[in-house]
Amino acid sequence: MGPTRVPLVIFRALSSKARSCVPQEPVFRKLKEHPRVEIPIQTVHLLERLSLVRFGEAEAVTRLEEAVKFAQAIFDVDTSNVEPMHTVLENRSVPLREDRPQRWDPKLVLNNVTKMEEGFIVAPPGNIALKEDERLNDLRS
Amino acid sequence: MLVDGIGSVARGLAARTLLPSEICAASLQRIKQTEELNAYITVVEEKARLRARQGDKRCESGKILPLDGVTIAVKDNFCTAGVRTTCASKMLEDFVPRYTATVIQRLERSGAIVIGKTNMDEFAMGAGATDSRFGPSKNPWRYERAGESIAGDFYITGGSSGGSAVAVASGTCFGAVGSDTGGSVRNPSARCGVFALKPSYGALSRHGLIPLTHSLDVPGLIGLTIDDLALMFSICAGVDPLDSTTIRTNFSGLKLHDEPALNGLRVGIPQEYHCPGMQDEVIKLWTDVADLLEKLGCEVVAVSLPHTQYSLQCYSVLNCCDVASNLACYDGLEFGCRTESMESTEDLFAETRLKGFSDVVRGRILSGNFFLLKGNYDKFFRQAMRLRRLIYSDFETVFRNVDLLLAPVTLTEAILYSEWSKKDNRTRATLEDYCTQPANLAGLPALSLPCRLSRNGLPLGLQLIGPALSEARLMNTGKRIELEMDFQHSCK
C-alpha cells in the first residue's frame, strides 16, 4: 500500500518573476483580541429549549462561549452599506418545480419509524415544556 | 487494474478483455484487503455484483455505457435507496432512505457500480474524517510506518470526505463522490494523493445530499486523473427539477485536451493564502508550480483577496445557523435513533438528540441558535452575510484581471492522529479550512491536485480556483500541471 516511487521534479534555479509572486512570509494582520464571552444561565436554558438539545455538561457551555469569542472577529470588518448575501445565485432565476402529488407507498415512507401503532406514529404527550436541566445551575455557579 | 483510471476500463471493455463483474470482484476484494483503513461504513456487495452482471450483458450486446465497469464509492451523506445512509452519526445508524441522490442516480444510469458508502466526519462537520461514529479513517500513505513511535498511530486522511479519498487512493474503486462545504473533498484528496473537483455552486444537484449548509454545499468528485473527474462531472452536471438551486450548464460531452496549452493564461497568486503555520514545503511547491506555469507561457501575477482571513469566522456563523435549522428534523419520531423517554414530546426530542448527536454536532446546533437569538441576529447572522458579500466581491475583483488562482489546499502534509487529537474540532477547522473555505462562500469551482511527496513521503497538493462555471478551463489547466508534475499514485 505504501508509495513505491518518489517523483523527482527538478526546476531550473532561476529567480523568475513568478517565483517572486509567491509570498515567502505570511500575509496576515493580527486579529483584534476580543473579550471573553459569558453566557448567562437563563440564556443557557433558553438555548436548550430552542434547540431541544441538552448541553449535557458544563464544558459544553464553555465551548459555546469560545465559539462566540471566535466569531466576534466578524465585528472588526466595516460592512456599512453592504447588503447581506444569502446565496451566490441571487441574480439568477431559480425555477421551482411544479407542485404535483406523487404516489408513494405509505409503508415505504414509514419504513424508518421506530414506534408505530395502527398506522400512526406514537409520540409522548405534547404541550409540556422542556424541563430545565438543574444540574447546569449548580455547575455554572 | 484499479489504478489506471476510467479510460483503461473503457478500453478493456471495448476490447472484450475485461468484464464489469471482474472489475467489481476486484474492487470488493481490494476493500477486504484494505479494511484496516476504515474507508467504508457500508459495503454493498450483493447489489454491486448484480449491477455488474447487468453491465456484463450490455458489454456482450455491444451497448456499453460510458461508466460501465466503473466502481465508485459514495460518501455516507448521499441518500441511496435501500442502502443505509448514516452520515457517520448514531442518529442515522439504521436509516434506510427510499430514494437515491440525483448525482448518484446519474452516475448509475451511465453504468457506474456503487460498491459502498464511505466514512466521514459526523454530518460532514470536521476536517479529518476522525470524528465519526464508526471510528477514524486512516491514510494509506506511510500506513505501515506511521506507528513507529506510538503503536497503532496513523496519518489522518483529512476530511470530511476522508473515506471517499481513501477509497480511491487505496485502489478500491475508480472514483468517489464526496461533498464540499468548506474544503471537504479538496482537503482529504490533497492529503491522500488523489484529484478532486469542487464544482461551481449549482452545477451539480444537491437533491439527496443530506444538507450541512444549503448555500455552500456542493457534491464533489474524487478521481485518479483529471480526465476521470471531467467525465464524471459531465455526466452529473445540469439542471435537476428536484433541486431548485441547480443552474443550466453546458458540460455534457466535456472533453479535455490531450496536452492543454496554457499560453497567455493569466494566473493569480493570492497573497493572503500564505497564512501563519504553513509548512515550508507547501510554500516551496507553490513557488515551483508558479514557476512552472510561467515557463508554460502563463502570465503569473500577485493578487490580493483582503477579506480572506475573516472567511472562517464568517463561515462559523453561517454554518452553525444553517445547522441549527437543518438538523431540527432529527427528533426520533419519523426516522433515526429514538430514546425510550415518554415523559413529553420535547423531552423525547432533547433526550434523543443528546444520545444521537456527538458533542461537536450539538455544539454547532446550540451555537447556531445563539447567533439566531433576537438580540444577536443582526449582530452575528446578518453581519456574517454582509462579510460573505465582501469575500465574494474580492474574487469578483481579481477575476477581472486573472483567469485562475493558484493556491495551497492544506497548510501542511497529513498529520499523525496522535498529534491531531490534541486539538478540538473547531480549532482544527480554523487551521484546516483556511485556504479552501473562501471558494465555498463565493460559490466558485476549485480543483485539488496532488503534486509531489514531502520529505516524509506524504502527498502535497495545490488547488486552482476559477470564476463560476469555468470548470473546463480549470480542468484543462489542471491536466497540464498533472502531466508536468507526474505525481505517482501510491498503489501503482
CB atoms within 10 A of CB A140: 15
Q: Is there a contact between B230 and B7 (Cβ–Cβ < 8 Å)?
A: no
Coil, strand, or helix at residue B48?
helix
pLDDT at position A95 is 82
Contact A63 B363 (CB under 8 A): yes
* Cell (9 digits) for A68: 462566540
CA distance A54 to chain B (A): 6
Residues of chain B contacting residue A63, judged by C-beta atoms under 8 Å apart: 359, 363, 424, 426
C-alpha cell at B377: 441576529
pLDDT, one tens digit for every residue, chain B (492 residues): 566 899 999 999 999 999 999 999 999 999 999 999 999 999 999 999 999 999 999 999 999 999 999 999 999 999 999 999 999 999 999 999 999 999 999 999 999 999 999 999 999 999 999 999 999 999 999 998 888 888 999 999 999 999 999 999 999 999 999 999 999 999 999 999 999 999 999 999 999 999 999 999 999 999 999 999 999 999 999 999 999 999 999 999 999 999 999 999 999 999 999 999 999 999 999 999 999 999 999 999 999 999 999 999 999 999 999 999 999 999 999 999 999 989 999 999 999 999 999 999 999 999 999 999 999 999 999 999 999 999 999 999 999 999 999 999 999 999 999 999 998 887 787 778 999 999 999 999 999 999 999 999 999 999 999 999 999 999 999 999 999 999 998 654
What number of residues does chain A have?
A: 141
Kindly report the nearest CA distance between residue B64 and chain A, in angstroms: 32
Contact A133, A53 (CB under 8 A): no
The count of CB pairs under 8 A between chains A and B is 277
C-alpha cell at B204: 451539480
What is the residue type of A87? T
Let me know: does B390 contact B349? Beta carbons within 8 Å. no
Concatenating the DSSP letter of every residue in B238-284 gives: S-BTTBTT------TT----SS---TT-EEEEEGGG--TT--HHHHH
Q: Which of B466, B439, B490 is nearest to B186 (CA)?
A: B439
Report pLDDT digits (tens) over B29-52. Answer: 999 999 999 999 999 999 999 999
Among B317, B345, B368, whose Cβ lies nearest the Cβ of A123?
A: B345
CB atoms within 10 A of CB A100: 5
Instruction: Give the per-residue pLDDT at A138.
Output: 72
Q: Which of A28, A67, A112 sits opposite B363 (nearest CB)?
A: A67
B70 inside 8 A of chain A by CB: no
Q: Within 10 Å of residue B307's Cβ, how many Cβ atoms?
A: 21
Give the residues of chain A that fall short of pLDDT 70.
Answer: 1-16, 139-141
d(Cα B335, Cα B308) in Å, to the nearest integer? 40
pLDDT at B1: 58
Q: Does B39 touch chain A (CB under 8 A)?
A: no
Distance CA B94, CA B303 (A): 49
Closest by Cα among B125, B179, B449, B131 to B315: B125
* Contact between residue B160 and residue B120 where contact means Cβ atoms under 8 Å apart: yes
Amino acid identity for residue B182 in this structure: G
Please report the pLDDT score of residue B79 as a whole number.
98
Closest chain A CA to residue B347: A130
Please work out, in degrees rounded to the nearest 5, the angle formed at the alpha carbon of residue B13 by the alpha carbons of B8 and B16.
125
| DSSP reduced 3-state for A41 | helix
A17 contacts in B (CB within 8 Å)?
Answer: 294, 300
Q: Which of B275, B216, B184, B203 is nearest to B246 (CA)?
A: B203
Distance CA B421, CA A88 (A): 35
Sign of the Cα pseudo-torsion (B98, B104, B106, B111, in order)? negative
In chain B, the residue whose alpha carbon lies closest to the alpha carbon of A97 is B241
Distance of alpha carbon B155 from alpha carbon B415, whole angstroms: 5
Would you say domain B6-264+401-485 falls under CATH 3.90.1300.10? Answer: yes
Which chain A residues are closer than 8 Å to B275 by Cβ? Answer: 26-28
Helix axes B102-109, B226-236, angle to 10 degrees: 110
Q: Write down the domain spans for chain B.
A: 6-264+401-485, 314-381
> Which chain A residues have a beta carbon less than 8 Å from that of B449?
none
pLDDT at A4: 37
Distances (CA, A) of A30 to B274, B276, B309: 14, 10, 10
Distance from CA of B423 to the nearest CA of A (A): 13
CB contact under 8 A, A123 and B442: no
Which residues of chain B are within 8 Å of residue A113 when distances are taken between CB atoms? 333-335
Say which residue the cell 497529513 belongs to: B414
B185/B163 Cα distance (integer angstroms): 10
Q: Is B479 assigned a catalytic role? A: no
Residues 6+ apart with CB under 8 A from B45: B28, B115
Q: Where are the alpha helices (DSSP H) in B327-373?
A: 345-356, 359-371
- Tell me what pLDDT residue A7 has: 38
Which residue type, as a one-letter code, is found at position B9?
A: V
Q: How many other CB atoms are found less than 10 A from the CB of residue B105?
A: 20
* Rounded Cα gap, residues A107 and A79, in angstroms: 52
Is position B184 annotated as part of the catalytic site? yes
Tabulate helix, strand, coil % of chain A (nearest 5): 35, 5, 60
Query: Closest to B313 (Cβ–Cβ): which among A56, A70, A97?
Result: A70
For residue B246, give the chain A residue with the closest CA: A94
- Of residues B227, B265, B287, the one with CA closest to residue B408: B287
Q: Are B155 and B186 in contact (CB under 8 A)?
A: no
Task: Show the cell assigned to B469.
Answer: 462555471
Q: What is the pLDDT of residues B458-468, one digit of tens each?
A: 999 999 999 99
A116 touches chain B (CB under 8 A): no
Number of C-alpha atoms within 13 angstroms, CB side, residue B291? 17
B140 touching chain A per CB within 8 A = yes
Q: How far apart are CA B436 and CA B464, in angstroms?
A: 10
